[in-house]
Amino acid sequence: MTALSSPLNLPKWLEENSHLLKPPINNHLIYNDPLTVQIVGGPNARTDYHINETPEFFYQYKGRMLLKTVQEKNGSSEFIDIYINEGDLFLLPANIPHNPVRFEDTVGVVLELPRPETSVDRLRWYCRKCGEKVHEKSFYCTDLGTQLKEAVGQFQEDEKARTCGKCGEVNEAKPTKEMMEKMRTGPS
């Protein structure tokens, strides 16, 4: 029989461990079996869209976050913003490109299912000017925080990967302060 761990007191954990929530992803893995449970703080500094072959569950513990998504509607891709407010729960279906934008002084909890051995996670970047896919990185996820940070760093260092083949725009790996403020003050 497996020994049970003690319950985790989230306010106490944050008081003692918030220093572990570091950019660009700001996540810390709490449990990894049978579910992946992460505490994620803000602000984060990402422009990529994560594509996971399993659903993701979001609980916004403190503050408000923005989940930028790309959804298929009438045969074309549409960028749709979903604001998740303090206390809100949200279940994101599998295979939806999403960019979780977390603002200063916010905390959320994200639950994910274990990836099947055949599962491939993807990070995709879209052109901020024309919306075209600019770059994509695929990997089998073993450590989301480390692998995301590595992929974001590679994208940031590679101007060719950041350049849109359709319109020529050189895209950023991190949102600007102006972009973050515009997203933070979006619809309430």
130 annotated as a binding-site residue: yes
141 annotated as a binding-site residue: no
Query: Smallest Cα–Cα separation from 119: which of 144, 153, 98, 146?
Result: 144
122 annotated as a binding-site residue: no
127 annotated as a binding-site residue: yes
104 annotated as a binding-site residue: no
19 annotated as a binding-site residue: no
Instruction: List, as residue ranges, the binding site for a divalent metal cation.
Output: 127, 130, 164, 167
Detail the residues annotated as belonging to a binding site for substrate. Answer: 56, 102, 112
Annotated binding site for O2, which residues?
A: 46
Binding-site members for Fe cation are: 50, 56, 98
Which residues are known binding-site members?
Answer: 46, 50, 56, 98, 102, 112, 127, 130, 164, 167
